Every structure is written in C-alpha cells, then in structure tokens.
Amino acid sequence: MKTSLIVIVFIAATSLAVSTFGQSTATSPAPGSKMTNTGQVAVPANPTGGTAATAPTGQPSAADMQKMMQQMTEMSKLNENHKLLSSLDGDWDYAIKFWMNPDPNAKPQESKGTAIRKSIMGGRYVTMDVSGKMKMPDETGKMKDVMFKGMAIEGYDNVKKKFIASWVDNMGTGIEFSEGTYDPATKTFTYSMEMEPMPGMKTQVREVIRVPDNKHMMLEWYETQGGQEKKTMEINYTKKS
C-alpha cells in the first residue's frame, strides 16, 4: 500500500508538466475469456539527451508520463469480472462439512453459520464476513464449541488478469492469498494457494467455487497431502430472501 501511494504521488507531481491528455477506452473483458493487452499503452524509452519537449536522459518525458497515466487509468476501470463478484452481494446462510478424521469412512463434522458479502471501493472489491459456531478440539483433544469469525477480500486484478482473494480468521495469525480463474461455461471459480498452518507444514490447496445462480454457491476445498489431493471441506451457501 505504501508503494502504491509513492507511485501515485510521483505521477501526480510529474504530471504537472502535462497540460491535457486523452483517455482511451477499451472493451471490458468477459469472465473467463482470454484477455490481451488491449488498453495498455507502451511507454517508449527516453531519447538520448533532452530537448524542450523531452526530459533529460533517465527522466520520463511529458509524453511518457501522459502514456503512463493513460495506462493506469485503463487498469483502474471496472469490467464484467468485477460485476460478476458484485452480483453475489447479500446475506447468506451456509452449512459446512469438514473431513478431519484420517479414516476415509468417518462422518464429516458439520456446522452452520452466516456470511455477508458487500462490494467496496466502487465495486472493485468484495468483502465477505463469516461467523458461526463449530466444534474444535482443545489442548486435551476434547471437542468443544467455539465461535468462528473470518473475513475475505475478493477482486479481479486487471494487471495480472486473474481473480484474487485474501482470507483471515480467528483461528490463526496468518493471511492466506490465492489467485484464480473463472469458467463461464460451468460457472466455476478455481483458486490455488499455499498455506502454512504450522511451521514447515506447507500445503497446496485448490479451491473450487460453483455458482449455479445468484442464490446458491458451493465451495469445495482440496488439500494435497502425501502427494495425494484430498477433499477436506465443503460449504453450501444459500442466499437469504
């Protein structure tokens, strides 16, 4: 965040040398489509030396700054991918299943809760606040009810051309980051990440979220354990009336 602020301040200061500049338009990418660099403006290298129209060598010229500002403007625009995430705003009930027992025939643990999805930053991101009660083992291994709190921030990165998400909860102190894609044919998001719940215990995760309509979602969570991918969690969401 500090880096972004420094870049913005730098551009704002140097752009004083630019009196006006045009803002080009670009077609917003459709969800799941292959996106090209449409809308991005190449910034040429500075010419050797400097004239009244250009800055000295090593400094961006007024023309270069104009093109950089145009590209930043394009990269900040909303498109269909952001609208797709915002379409899921609202209050949801969820039912969750955990497969924590190594016995493949053991029944999963089950619990319920609520989730509130809300668009922020003019629709560029979506937050999801989750709360519920679930059973967790204490230090002695005895199961007890605990209140679970979690929060996600989701978005679509126009630079990376990927869906992005972060997650925090009251069961740890880390922040999980994931990147993913969307398949409009199956209405499915697929995210991947690496998490480390314990020192040295790095685990590859694949998260699949199916959205058949704007009132239902199903999340499936797969972990790679011992070289084998295993489903360890399933969440079914139903939007409240």
DSSP string for residues in 222-235:
EEEETTEEEEEEEE
Which residue's structure tokens are 């449409």? 38
Q: With b meaning 16 or more CB within 10 Å and e meaning fewer, what string describes 1-39?
A: eeeeeeeeeeeeebbeeeeeeeeeeeebbebbeebeeeb
pLDDT digits (tens, 9 = 90+) for 127-163: 999 999 988 878 888 888 899 999 999 999 999 999 9
What are the residue ranges of helices labelled H in the chain?
2-14, 62-75, 80-86
Nearest of 1, 4, 164, 154 to residue 72 by alpha carbon = 4
Contacts 24+ apart (CB under 8 A), 186-189: 186/210, 187/211, 187/212, 189/163
All domains in the chain, ordered by first residue: 2-77 (no CATH), 81-239 (2.40.128.20)
Q: How many angstroms separate the CA atoms of 154 and 126, rounded? A: 5
pLDDT digits (tens, 9 = 90+) for 107-119: 999 999 999 999 9
Give pTM, 2 decimals: 0.74
Does the pLDDT of residue 126 top 90, yes or no? Answer: yes
pLDDT digits (tens, 9 = 90+) for 41-97: 444 444 444 444 555 567 888 899 999 999 999 999 999 999 999 999 999 999 999
- Strands 143-157, 188-195: pairing kind: unpaired
Q: Residue 142 in 3-state DSSP? A: coil
CB 169 within 8 A of CB 150: yes
